[in-house]
């Protein structure tokens, strides 16, 4: 079975390029779903305190026969805990729920600009990394202006910005900024909440390669050096998603998918205006 390549980060560490996301996976089934992902071959699991399922992720890891050193775990700081001391307390809650000694990657979930505390939150993450409690630190849903501010005020560049990215919303300008600053782009909702799967162009490419539309889209992410974290609760689809490692799209396939980009294709909230304190 092919294994995902590892992507180098700007702090000298690396992350598996293909991971498994658990957004909207019910807490009562998270352990079973993550266990299936691990059995399939996934070695990177992405969760968040705001998802309410960190405990299930930790239990699945603890009960697996895979050495902890082989599993890359990401979690995120909830939006209501950006104040410095609150961020440190939130991290303690995450670690207690996951039952881990050290976290591989911790992200600020959203900038929440109206609250205007994301720089303070970033300073807390820097401290956690300096204390050896988390190996790498990054952000999620940050626009260019948010990135420029935290870098300018702290001098510390995130290793990753995890953002909504899929064929109908390709975030090219933001990715160009990432490339200039050696920030890796990680795609959440890489299948466009499932909507991109029904696109006829994706369907034709899938037919051509005798693959599923989901596999074509995941492969598109991987061939652009993006990190992708597809989610599914169905064992068959979990295995299908992982099998995107086993084939390649040609240049014409990539060009056709590139043309699907729509500046209005965003599905999730806009980081410039999203201020929910979940």
Give the residue numbers annotated as catalytic, written as ranges: 51
The answer to whether residues 94 and 115 touch, using CB atoms and an 8 Å cutoff, is no
Angle between helices 144-154 and 172-181 (to 10 degrees): 20
Q: What is the C-alpha separation between 226 and 1, in angstroms, rounded? A: 21
Q: Which H/E stretch holds residue 32?
A: helix 27-40
What tokens does 36 get?
Answer: 């299936």
Distance, CA of 106 to chain centre: 11
Q: What is the C-alpha separation between 156 and 41, in angstroms, rounded? A: 33
Q: Which H/E stretch holds residue 35?
A: helix 27-40
The answer to whether residues 273 and 183 touch, using CB atoms and an 8 Å cutoff, is no
Q: What is the C-alpha separation between 15 and 109, in angstroms, rounded? A: 18
The answer to whether residues 147 and 181 touch, using CB atoms and an 8 Å cutoff, is yes
Residues in contact with 175: Cβ distance below 8 Å, sequence separation at least 6, in sequence order: 165, 185
The answer to whether residues 249 and 209 touch, using CB atoms and an 8 Å cutoff, is yes
Q: What is the C-alpha separation between 249 and 278, in angstroms, rounded? A: 39
């Amino acid at each position: 079975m092919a294994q995902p390549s590892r992507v180098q980060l700007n702090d000298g560490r690396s992350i598996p390029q293909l991971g498994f996301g658990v957004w909207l996976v019910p807490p009562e089934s998270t352990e079973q779903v993550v266990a299936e992902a691990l059995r399939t071959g996934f070695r990177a699991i992405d969760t968040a305190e705001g998802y309410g399922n960190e405990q299930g992720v930790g239990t699945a890891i603890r009960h697996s026969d895979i050495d902890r050193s082989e599993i890359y775990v990401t979690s995120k700081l909830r939006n209501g805990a950006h104040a410095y001391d609150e961020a440190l307390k939130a991290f303690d809650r995450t670690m207690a729920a996951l039952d881990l000694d050290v976290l591989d990657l911790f992200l600020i979930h959203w900038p929440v600009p109206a609250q205007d505390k994301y720089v303070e939150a970033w300073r807390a993450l820097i401290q956690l990394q300096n204390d050896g409690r988390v190996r790498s630190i990054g952000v999620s849903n940050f626009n260019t202006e948010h990135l420029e501010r935290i870098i300018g005020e702290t001098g510390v560049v995130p290793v990753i910005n995890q953002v909504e990215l899929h064929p109908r919303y390709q975030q090219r300008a933001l990715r160009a900024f990432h490339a200039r600053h050696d920030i890796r782009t990680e795609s959440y909702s890489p299948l466009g909440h499932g909507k991109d799967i029904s696109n006829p162009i994706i369907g034709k490419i899938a037919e051509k390669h005798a693959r599923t539309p989901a596999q074509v889209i995941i492969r598109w992410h991987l061939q652009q050096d993006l990190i992708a974290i597809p989610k599914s609760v169905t064992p068959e689809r979990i295995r299908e998603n992982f099998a995107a490692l086993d084939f390649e799209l040609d240049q014409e396939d990539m060009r056709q998918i590139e043309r699907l980009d729509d500046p209005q294709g965003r599905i999730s909230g806009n980081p410039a205006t999203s201020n929910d304190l979940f």
